[in-house]
Amino acid sequence: MSELNRTHNPLARSWVASANVAGTDFPIQNLPFAVFKPKDSDQDMRGGVAIGDQVLDLKALAASGCLADTGLAQKALEAAAQPCLNTFMAMGPQAWQALRHALFDLLEQSTSPALQARVQVCLVSQSLVEYGLPARIGDYTDFYTSIYHATNVGKLFRPDNPLMPNYRWLPIGYHGRASSVLVSGHDFHRPAGQILPPGQTEPVFSACKRLDWELELGVFIGKGNALGHAISLDAAEDHVFGICLLNDWSARDIQAWEYQPLGPFLAKNFATTISPWVVTMEALAPYRTAMERPDHKQDDVAYLKSEHNSQQGALDIQLRIGLRSESMRAAKTDTHWVCQTSYRHAYWTLAQMVAHHTVSGCNLQAGDLLGTGTLSGPTLDQAGALLELTEGGKVPLTLPDGQQRTFLQDGDDVTMQGWCEKAGAARIGFGECRATVLPALFQK
């Protein structure tokens, strides 16, 4: 696990003025990675790092020679400058840290004016760029790590037995669809599939009528493991490059008909939206905290248990999600936030997800994506899905203009945000994860 160092100093300031503005997601203590290009251009994608309201173009920086004499940092920079971050991710923690520390030094306030000038020409306003997926995602696995979400959903279908007996023993997951993972800002069409109407015995083919969001985090794997060789719990985070926001859109009515006995399929494979910025594990070091379990269970199976993971394995990442309807946007009404929670409430940690995923001998690869599952908190206002917030569609949400929602309607624009904040540490943000629901291509 990353330890605190000079890059976490809350008093550090950048010569990029916007990085020092209170409330910014991207101070010098963050330096998250993305892939971008100038907006509406035919240029190739390249790696970038956020600093204030700017993007540091890593391709331009590599060509500038500013890190030419830094050895590993320069090699890491050349890898991170490519059109996707897989090669850089595969280099491992030493390379990630070498580059992040070198960039910190270039952007820190005391950097010489001459060096500042060389770096300044590599900056591009975030308002002038468009983003791609951070990596080629070879595989995507979505987990179910919130006991509050699992219990809330379970109560809707099994009031007397909401939580399955295996839940407290292993991090449950299913294999998702990597090809339909989209970067924030890419809208998607409402899915269609088989639905079993209430009271009927035969399904109909229809556009989804119970479209939902799921408030999650995405975990990008860095250095992989060989087939047959499991990753131990305390080594797991050496294989994690960083974290992004993730919205695992869900067609609840399609899911209800198809999920037994093998789990979700069409209900989940039509779209998953992630934020462009990947915040490194090192940047998140000040926000580590102890695992938080309402049942205080400590007798995990050996490969999922360690004192270090128990005491420092959780992360206090604040998350919120909200929507703007088409009419709200026309009236210039701000996003209506309906849920705020924290990743610290997860029953299973990030390291436990990685250790469990590989204990069978499964080989993870650089750029693979893991989802945490919906991250609900202990109270209903911290529920990370409409299915929970509306109690299965029985209790509608009321929007500022009086409209109501049980599930998403066409034209709804959904936004997620994430950040870490506490006294004695710099605020670290994730940017946003956003998409609009378009009408189904199939209409009935």
Q: Determine if the pTM surpasses 0.85.
A: yes
Domain count along the chain: 2
* pLDDT, one tens digit for every residue, the chain (444 residues): 568 999 999 999 999 999 999 999 999 999 999 999 999 999 999 999 999 999 999 999 999 999 999 999 999 999 999 999 999 999 999 999 999 999 999 999 999 999 999 999 999 999 999 999 999 999 999 999 999 999 999 999 888 889 999 999 999 999 999 999 999 999 999 999 999 999 999 999 999 999 999 999 999 999 999 999 999 999 999 999 999 999 999 999 999 999 989 999 999 999 999 999 999 999 999 999 999 999 999 999 999 999 999 999 999 999 999 999 999 999 999 999 999 999 999 999 999 999 999 999 999 999 999 999 999 999 999 999 999 999 999 999 999 999 999 999 999 999 999 999 999 999 999 999 999 999 999 765
Check residue 1 and give its pLDDT. Answer: 59
Buried b (16+ CB within 10 A) or exposed e, 279-296: bbbbbbbbbbeebebeee
Instruction: List the CATH number of the domain containing 297.
Output: 3.90.850.10
The reply to whether 121 falls in a domain is yes
Residues 270 and 124 in one domain: no
Q: Is residue 385 a contact partner of residue 214, using CB atoms and an 8 Å limit? A: yes
The one catalytic residue among 8, 149, 239, 345: 149
User: DSSP letters along 308-367, please?
Assistant: HHHHH-EE--EEEEEEE-HHHHHTTPPPEEEEEEEGGG-SS-HHHHHHHHHTT-----TT
Cross-strand pairs, 238? none
What is the domain extent for residue 105?
6-132
Q: How far apart are the two ends of the chain, measured CA to CA in Å? A: 52
Check residue 442 and give its pLDDT. Answer: 73
The reply to whether 297 falls in a domain is yes
Residues 111 and 232 in one domain: no
Task: Tell me, yes or no, if 8 is annotated catalytic.
Answer: no
**Where a domain ends, among 132, 164, 189?**
132
Q: What six digits make up the tokens of 428? A: 């670290």
Check residue 160 and give its pLDDT. Answer: 86
When computed from its CA atoms, the radius of gyration of the chain, rounded to whole angstroms, is: 22
Give the integer Cα–Cα distance in Å for 79 and 88: 5
Query: Cβ neighbours of residue 174 under 8 Å, at least 6 residues apart?
Result: 141, 142, 263, 264, 268
